[in-house]
Amino acid sequence: MAAETLAQAGVKVIIYDRMPSLARKFLLAGRGGLNLTHSDPFELFTEKYGSAQGPLLPMLEAFPPSALIKWCEALGEETFVGTSGRVFPKSFKASPLLRRWLRRLESQGVEVRLRHALVGFDAHNKPIFQGPEGSPASVDADATILALGGASWPRLGSDGSWVDTLQGKGVTVAPLRAANCGFDVTWSPFMREKCAGQPLKNVALTFGRTRIRGEAMISTTGLEGSGVYALSGPIRDAIESQGFATLWFDLRPDMTQRELALRLLEAKTGQSTANVLRKAAGLTPAGAGLVREPGPLPKTADDLAKRIKGVPVQLTGVRPIARAISTAGGVTFGELDENLMVKRLPGVFAAGEMLDWEAPTGGYLLQACFATGRTAGRGALSYLGIFPE
Ligand SMILES: Cc1cc2nc3c(=O)[nH]c(=O)nc-3n(C[C@H](O)[C@H](O)[C@H](O)COP(=O)(O)OP(=O)(O)OC[C@H]3O[C@@H](n4cnc5c(N)ncnc54)[C@H](O)[C@@H]3O)c2cc1C
């Protein structure tokens, strides 16, 4: 996005990437349909960036979801709003959009150098790249924009190795941490062996004072899934500070405890507990397994209903950042000016997930990457003395 902003203004741009092809994580995001942005009202939308809302706001105002949708449609990819308000390209893929975008960049004169890793900066703050052959060499760029990503899915290219490079230049980088990630649970052998891989759909998840509707996925090591990711920031913080976090599941969120207790009472005569849980409570095998995890099932209908509507699950660890959807932490906003120029490195800008913000899944991640990319591109233009409209 930064390259496009510069190229449109007539600037010669070269994109360097350490991988043999561009935008591998963008393509991976396309496997889930490429959730580009969200149709939330703008005020609600920006709240999702939490403590980074302040610094990101002007960039999101300058390039809001409506602009991203227009940009996507101008590339020939119609978009649609899904049931949860998430916005996707109609093709539900990233590859056609990426193909057209790269073709457009090429027609704007943008060149690409693959298999070139940024390994440092020289004394004049020019980037040094290690190419496939020879020794590292600096590039005499008039301006440099870094968009090196976070540290999740490192085999796709973003491994966070830039942290040492920037810290070596005195730039403060908040530690990179997993965001939108799964958590460890010490499951019973039954859950691990019989329920791993099964979803818990249409449940409510509560952490602290936040209750959300969503779904979770049981894995052999713990819990994953969109509902868990949505609460993952505060859960991660709690585990980091106190060693564990308790997530509560309501497995029948559409029923009151009393309604559920009445159904259990009506069903009870002569049926096995497994049948009561399945037929009267309407639980899946995974839900029934979860209800049994905290200990023996309560004897009365009231207490059983209470358990089904509030199953505590103790989360004991954060899954590795390499498997997370995104990364929290990064270059702190205090190190950047309003154009996203690194104050200590005049002429060097930074954008995307490598900045210190986090947001839930729902299109908020790509939207902020696009908006910050555009801001950095415009910032570089004004640094070069070119003033875009
Ligand atoms: C499974 C998955 C699904 C996702 N789905 C969605 C979704 O539907 N919607 C959404 O909003 N977000 C989604 N995301 C998140 C989104 O893909 C990222 O937030 C976004 O790609 C980050 O963009 P970026 O340009 O900042 O970094 P990246 O996309 O990570 O790109 C950084 C680039 O920099 C290159 N690089 C890194 N270090 C160096 C170096 N030292 N030298 C040279 N090159 C380097 C990398 O090779 C890479 O090409 C998903 C993420 C994952 C993992």
Is residue 214 within 8 A of residue 166, CB to CB? The reply is: no
- Please say whether the beta carbons of 138 and 122 come within 8 A: yes
Contact in structure between 113 and 141 (CB atoms under 8 Å): no
Residue of 16, 148, 180, 370 to test ligand 1 pocket, by largest number of atoms within 8 Å of CB? 148
Q: What's the Rg (C-alpha) of the chain?
A: 24
Instruction: For each of the domains in the chain, give its residue range(s) and CATH number, in order of start.
Output: 2-179+326-383 (3.50.50.60), 183-318 (no CATH)
- Does 193 have pLDDT greater than 90? yes
| pLDDT average, residue stretch 137-146 | 98
Q: How many CB atoms lie within 10 A of CB 308?
A: 27
The token duo for 64 is 């809001």
Task: Report the candidate in 193, 219, 194, 176 with the shortest Cα–Cα distance to residue 313.
Answer: 219
What is the rounded CA–CA span in Å between residue 104 and residue 145? 20
- The string of pLDDT tens digits covering residues 89-124 is 999 999 999 999 999 999 999 999 999 999 999 999
Paired residues of 89 in beta bridges: 79
CA distance 63 to 305: 48
Token pair, residue 60, equals: 């999101």
Distance separating alpha carbons of residues 226 and 239, to the nearest angstrom? 19
Distance from C-alpha of 116 to C-alpha of 171, rounded to nearest angstrom: 23
pLDDT classification of 387: cutoffs 50, 70, 90: confident
Identify each DSSP E strand in 90-209 by its residue range.
111-113, 117-121, 127-130, 137-138, 144-146, 173-179, 183-184, 199-207
* Rounded Cα–Cα distance for residues 68 and 179 (Å): 23
Name the CA dihedral angle for 25, 30, 35, 36, rounded to a multiple of 10 degrees.
Answer: 70
For the stretch 5-14, pLDDT in tens is 999 999 999 9
Identify the pLDDT of residue 238. 98
Q: Which atom of ligand 1 is nearest to the CA of 19?
A: 47
**What is the mean predicted confidence (pLDDT) over 354-383?**
97
For residue 260, give Cα distances in angstroms to 189, 219, 301, 337: 28, 28, 8, 56
Residues 6 or more apart whose Cβ sits within 8 Å of residue 167: 173
Round to whole Å and give the CA distance between 179 and 353.
11
- Tens of pLDDT, residue by residue over 49-82, are 999 999 999 999 999 999 999 999 999 999 999 9
Average pLDDT over residues 177-204: 97
Ligand 1 atom 6: the closest Cα is on which residue? 29
pLDDT of res. 269 = 73
* Ligand 1 center from residue 228 Cα (angstroms): 21
The answer to whether residue 305 scores a pLDDT higher than 80 is: yes
Q: What percent of the chain has pLDDT over 70?
A: 99
C-beta separation of 321 from 327 below 8 A = yes
Q: Which atom of ligand 1 is nearest to the CA of 158?
A: 37
Per-residue confidence (pLDDT) for residue 83, from 0 to 100: 82
Ligand 1 nearest atom to the CA of residue 150, by list position:
30
Beta-bridge partners for 245: 315
What residues does ligand 1 touch, defined as CB less than 6 Å away? 16-19, 24-26, 28-29, 32, 34-35, 117-118, 147-149, 152-153, 157-158, 161-162, 325-326, 352-354, 363, 365-366, 369
Tokens representing 73 are 């449609």
Instruction: Kindly report the average pLDDT of the chain as a whole number.
Output: 96
pLDDT value of residue 296: 95
Q: Distance from the CA of 246 to the center of ligand 1, in angstroms?
A: 30
At 270 the pLDDT is 79
Residues 234-284: pLDDT tens digits? 999 999 999 999 999 999 999 999 999 999 998 867 789 999 999 999 999
Residue 292 pLDDT > 80: yes
> What is the token pair recorded at 370?
């696009």
Using the predicted structure, report yes or no on whether residue 389 has a pLDDT greater than 80.
Answer: no
The pLDDT tens digits for 335-367 are 999 999 999 999 999 999 999 999 999 999 999
Ramachandran assignment for 110, one of left (phi > 0), alpha (psi -120 to 50 degrees), beta (any other): beta
pLDDT at 267: 85
